[in-house]
Amino acid sequence: MTAKIGFIILAHSNSRRVAQVGQYLIENGGRVFVHFDAQSGVPRGFNLSGGMTASKFKTSWGGFGLIDATLHGIEMLLLEDSTLTHIVLMSETCLPIRSFRELREHLTDHPRTDFINCFDFADADWIGDGLAEERLTLFHPFSFRTQRRAFDLNVALQRLLRVQRKPPEGITPYIGDQWWCLTTETIRRVLCNPNFETMKRFFRTTWIPDESFFQTLVANWSDMPSQPALTCAEFDRSGKPYVFYDDHLDHLRSAPAFFARKIWPEADMLYDTFLSHAPKVRSEHRVSMRSKTSQIRRHASNMGQNTDHRRRGYRLTSTKFYVFVGFGTADTGFADHLRGSTDLVVYPQVFKRGAQFTGADLTPGNVLLSPRNLRYNPHALVANILNSHADGSVALCFEPGDQHGIWSTLLRTSSAHIVFLEDHWRARCTDGSNALRKRRVQAIYNRMIARDLIKNLRADFQTISWDAFQSDRHIAFETLGNSTDGSDRQRARLG
Amino acid sequence: MTRIFELLRLRTERSWLLFRSMVKSRELRLVSDRLNQIEPGDILLFFCARNELQRLPFFFDYYRKIGVRHFIAVDNGSDDGTTTFLSTQPDCTLWVATGSYRSARFGMDWINALLARYAVGHWAIIVDPDEFLVFPHQNVRPLRALLDWMDAGNIRSFGALLLDMYPKGSFSASSYVSGENPLDHSPYFDPQNYQSKLDRFYSNLWMQGGPRQRIYYADRPERAPALNKIPLVKWSKQMVFRSSTHQLLPRGLNVTYSQSAIPRPCGCLLHFKFLPSLKQKAEEEQKRREHYQYGQEYIEYLKRPDALFWTDHSAQFQNWQQLEELGLMSRGDWV
């Protein structure tokens, strides 16, 4: 038997697109019921020939009015045509992204399948942001959007009183996306269940029941097999649904779903393409909806670093860089050695107090290396230096007596590979250039600082002992290659 | 307790600024009135101009293309035909301000007054005639798409980094024809040279850097001009700009950056200050002493009018993706 499909469209104000989508569905043989939010009413000039329109319930976000409107829609559709086999719930921003014929064939092939996402409520992973179990265990008589203060106060009060509502006897709560496609058989079974009114009473004072009412009822009372919903709606990390624009055309063409949401109302190309009657060319490769999410993750990792200021402190960079501590004190030619033997870009004096920068004072990012700049904002200067070498081959040299402000940040930065020369303060005792007394004072001072530095070192830094360095100066950078396997990193003795 | 004092102080300051802008708005005289064209939901652009005839044709073109529906301009004593140009634009309402730019807090009192009168309920762009907004997905989506997205997420302000653009040679020796795309004249910028500090009281970031800090403020970087801007705001009646478009009150609107792991979209303002006319302008402003710090910035320009901003490391502007790749702006969660 060919599937006969009814559609419920829950709308607020977007009458132009609702009419367009509704007309498309009707022309292809679907039955359509449109419900407009009672607060805005049916927009003037809205005309859907062959469809039904109502505006009975306040369908504010997160409230039970959405369920009332849906139930009303089911009733109206079944009264109009009792031979319907499936009912699809859509929003005003949903758009069919495959031809109606394909949808009908798919439903004809699956006459006894409900397409609805149901997850066990205990599996809280599904809820991205906001209240989780408390959606059901507390009473929520206030609107989250319009009565925010009352809502928050109410939640706080009930937490204080330890309110714990229990769902009706023998019912396991389920949760999932609001948009579904159910068989009329399941719907009838749910509506005729003797406990239906009890369930309605329970869910009336829960929060966002549109994501749990039908899900719970279908999962508990229907024994038909269910499959994931036909609507692809993914949410970003703050819990907002993604919006699709004209540039997502290819993405939607290859999405493994029959409906997409949300579509930006002005995305003319999307509406024109998917609602045209011409047969559509589907691209061969199928990209999962996840590609969009991964795209975001990728961008979030390193983008907007300049304007992205976390209160937790500066994030220097995510690419690896080296910090050599104390080597310059021990060996004045160390920086040149390093340059000669490795392909690292070496910044020997970035942290030095009162340093006079010589030669090329601009890094590849046009960052001005000047003592004033360093003193003014050391974090920013270092971050800029690192960012201007995106390939991550930077070595910074840090000596005792340098500006300490940056040290804690370096320690916090997981991408910093710190190479520490043990007992580097000894250097001044052996070079013999200063008067004895002055030399000793300097050495004691350096030793104090070295102890201070070493105190906070993480476990994964690399230390090189003084004696080893004296016998072979290249040991500092010869180990760089294999320093990543980490087994020998945790040397026991520190300061 | 300190928090109560803080809130009280902020509130007093906000009321004072609003009151001040109301008083200063008496200096404004309406010259061409096309206010009846404004429809609910239109994107409005507010700006202050003085002798900007050279830049304005492209400025209008650019923002009309982006989706601005009405321009609200304040002209402060122009004598180069700017007034005529503005009064003949079909989508521009023009006021002429007779008072001092300086005593109107560098024009902000006038702008605040006009914003309070006409921008409530609208998205408003507040820029100078030499600033051009670049936002994520600009190549494929109109500005309206971004605004709808921010409306849906209850985000009311959009931050941008002021990106100083410069030519390859010295700016005073170059040439620029009115109406020309300033990008053809000054396509270069500093890719990395920016720093930020958090203002704990007003919650905004103070960003500095770029070529102006590198060349003119090398020995006192702390005095370099601020580069953080809030050019795009969904206006409501309690809002007021505090310091240019760097700081907005109530202070929550200054949080245009992300405070958690969830990134916020932000943009760039391409700043074409270094046109050849700057030299003449600087000479004039030095005499007028009407600008910030009595035109200190212009004095610096005059000291070294042939300064070369361009280096081997300067980047040439391509598109918004390039700026995002460099970490100067971000699409955030808006993909």
| Residues contacting B84, CB < 8 A, separation 6+ | none
* Banded model confidence at residue A291, pLDDT cuts 50, 70, 90: very low
d(CA A439, CA A436): 5
d(CA A158, CA A173): 20
Give the per-residue pLDDT at B222.
86
Average pLDDT over residues A168-181: 88
Give the per-residue pLDDT at A89.
94
Give the three-class secondary structure for B184.
helix
Question: What value does the mean pLDDT of chain A take?
Answer: 78
Q: In the structure encoding, which two tokens stand for residue A283, read together? A: 């691209």
Q: Is the pLDDT of residue A284 over 50?
A: no
**A382 and A323 in contact (C-beta within 8 Å)?**
no
Do B194 and A236 count as a contact with CB atoms less than 8 A apart? no
Burial class, A224, CB count within 10 angstroms (exposed 0-12 / middle 13-18 / buried 19+):
middle
Give the per-residue pLDDT at A78.
93
Nearest CA in chain A to B137: A247
* Banded model confidence at residue A277, pLDDT cuts 50, 70, 90: low
* Banded model confidence at residue A392, pLDDT cuts 50, 70, 90: low
Q: Which of A199, A198, A206 is nearest to A141 (CA)?
A: A206
Q: Which of A308, A318, A309 is nearest to B265 (CA)?
A: A308
Residues of B in contact with A242 (CB under 8 A): 335
Q: Which of A307, A318, A370, A385 to mutate to test the interface with B (most CBs of B within 10 A)?
A: A307
**A179 and A233 in contact (C-beta within 8 Å)?**
yes
Give the per-residue pLDDT at A488.
35
B145 touches chain A (CB under 8 A): yes
Do B335 and A364 count as a contact with CB atoms less than 8 A apart? no
B324 touches chain A (CB under 8 A): yes
- pLDDT tens string for chain B (335 positions)? 888 999 999 999 999 999 999 999 999 999 999 999 999 999 999 999 998 999 999 999 999 999 999 999 999 988 889 999 999 999 999 999 988 888 888 899 999 999 999 999 999 999 999 999 999 999 999 999 999 999 988 899 999 999 999 998 888 778 888 888 999 989 999 988 888 888 889 988 888 888 888 888 888 888 889 999 999 999 999 999 998 899 998 988 998 887 777 778 999 999 998 888 888 888 888 788 777 777 778 888 888 777 788 888 899 999 999 998 888 888 888 88
d(CA A58, CA B162): 45
Residues of A in contact with B256 (CB under 8 A): 307
CA distances from A270 to A8, A30, A251, A252, A262 (A): 21, 21, 11, 9, 11
Do A307 and B335 count as a contact with CB atoms less than 8 A apart? no
Do A307 and B262 count as a contact with CB atoms less than 8 A apart? no
Indicate the length of chain B as a whole number: 335
Measured in angstroms, the CA of A368 and the nearest CA of chain B are apart by 6
| CA angle (A136 as vertex; A131, A140 as ends), nearest 5 | 80
Residues of A in contact with B211 (CB under 8 A): 366
**What letter represents residue B183's amino acid?**
L
Q: In the structure encoding, which two tokens stand for residue A428, read together? A: 């001044």
Using one digit for the tens of pLDDT, what is the confidence trace for A251-261?
A: 888 888 899 98
CA torsion sign for B147, B148, B149, B154 is positive
Percent pLDDT > 70 in chain A is 78
Measured in angstroms, the CA of B218 and the nearest CA of chain A are apart by 8
Q: In the 8-state DSSP scheme, what is residue A263?
A: B
- Of B213, B214, B333, nearest to A296 by CB-CB distance is B333
Average pLDDT over residues A205-224: 89
d(CA B205, CA B231): 14
Q: Which of B138, B196, B232 to mutate to test the interface with A (most CBs of A within 10 A)?
A: B196
B99 touches chain A (CB under 8 A): no
CA distances from A172 to A120, A131, A221, B77, B173 (A): 8, 18, 10, 73, 77
Give the per-residue pLDDT at A480.
62
* Banded model confidence at residue A432, pLDDT cuts 50, 70, 90: low
Percent pLDDT > 90 in chain A is 24
Do B258 and A304 count as a contact with CB atoms less than 8 A apart? yes
B211 touches chain A (CB under 8 A): yes
| Residues contacting A254, CB < 8 A, separation 6+ | A282, A283, A285, A286, A287
d(CA B215, CA B171): 13
Give the per-residue pLDDT at A214.
92
d(CA A401, CA B166): 39
B207 touches chain A (CB under 8 A): yes
Using one digit for the tens of pLDDT, what is the confidence trace for A33-47?
A: 999 999 888 888 888
* Banded model confidence at residue A326, pLDDT cuts 50, 70, 90: confident
Q: Is the pLDDT of residue A289 over 60?
A: no
**A234 and A297 in contact (C-beta within 8 Å)?**
no
Higher per-residue confidence, B297 vs A432: B297
Do B197 and A377 count as a contact with CB atoms less than 8 A apart? yes
Give the per-residue pLDDT at B131.
94
Residues of B in contact with A380 (CB under 8 A): 194-196, 209
Nearest CA in chain A to B264: A308
B258 touches chain A (CB under 8 A): yes
Q: Which helix (H) or strand (E) holds A416?
A: strand A416-421
Residues of B in contact with A292 (CB under 8 A): 335
Residue with tokens 């000793």: A440
d(CA A450, CA A421): 10
- Of A265, A309, A366, nearest to B193 by CB-CB distance is A366
Q: Is the pLDDT of residue A316 over 50?
A: yes
Q: Is the pLDDT of residue A206 over 70?
A: yes
User: Helices in chain B by DSSP H: which ranges?
Assistant: 2-24, 56-66, 82-88, 108-114, 143-152, 182-185, 210-216, 278-288, 296-303, 320-325
**CB contacts < 8 A (A, B):** 149
Q: Is the pLDDT of residue A427 over 50?
A: yes
Residues of B in contact with A366 (CB under 8 A): 190-193, 211, 214, 311, 313-314
Measured in angstroms, the CA of B108 and the nearest CA of chain A are apart by 24
Measured in angstroms, the CA of B68 and the nearest CA of chain A are apart by 16
**B194 and B208 in contact (C-beta within 8 Å)?**
yes
Encode A26-70 in three state secondary structure. HHCCCEEEEEECCCCCCCCCCCCCCCEEECCCCCCCCCCHHHHHH
β-strand B131-134 against B267-271: which pairing, if any? antiparallel
Q: Which 262-321 residues of chain B touch chain A by CB within 8 A?
A: 262-264, 266, 311, 313-314
Give the per-residue pLDDT at A283.
42
Q: Which of A465, A470, A476 is nearest to A338 (CA)?
A: A476
- Of B140, B214, B333, nearest to A247 by CB-CB distance is B140
Q: Is the pLDDT of residue A281 over 60?
A: no
| Residues contacting B9, CB < 8 A, separation 6+ | none
Give the per-residue pLDDT at B135.
95
Determine if the pTM surpasses 0.95: no
Do B161 and A292 count as a contact with CB atoms less than 8 A apart? no
Do A384 and B195 count as a contact with CB atoms less than 8 A apart? yes
Q: Which of B135, B148, B194 to mutate to test the interface with A (most CBs of A within 10 A)?
A: B194
Give the per-residue pLDDT at B74.
94
Query: A323 has which bridge partners?
Result: A396, A418
Average pLDDT over residues A419-424: 76
Residues of B in contact with A365 (CB under 8 A): 190-193, 313
Using one digit for the tens of pLDDT, what is the confidence trace for A353-374?
A: 666 555 456 777 788 877 777 7
Do B191 and A302 count as a contact with CB atoms less than 8 A apart? no
- Of B209, B219, B266, nearest to A304 by CB-CB distance is B266
d(CA B100, CA B106): 8
- Of A242, A295, A368, nearest to B218 by CB-CB distance is A368
B219 touches chain A (CB under 8 A): yes
Q: Which of A147, A379, A95, A128 is nearest to A258 (CA)?
A: A95
Q: Which of A149, A159, A157, A167 is nearest to A205 (CA)?
A: A167
B253 touches chain A (CB under 8 A): no
Nearest CA in chain A to B136: A304
Residue with tokens 């280096």: B311
Q: Is the pLDDT of residue A300 over 90?
A: no
Q: Is the pLDDT of residue A308 over 70?
A: no
Q: Is the pLDDT of residue A282 over 50?
A: no
d(CA A422, CA A492): 12
**What letter represents residue B142's amino acid?**
P
Using one digit for the tens of pLDDT, what is the confidence trace for B250-293?
A: 988 998 887 777 778 999 999 998 888 888 888 888 788 777 77
Q: Which of A304, A296, A367 is nearest to B159 (CA)?
A: A304
Measured in angstroms, the CA of B237 and the nearest CA of chain A are apart by 19
β-strand B247-249 against B240-243: which pairing, if any? antiparallel
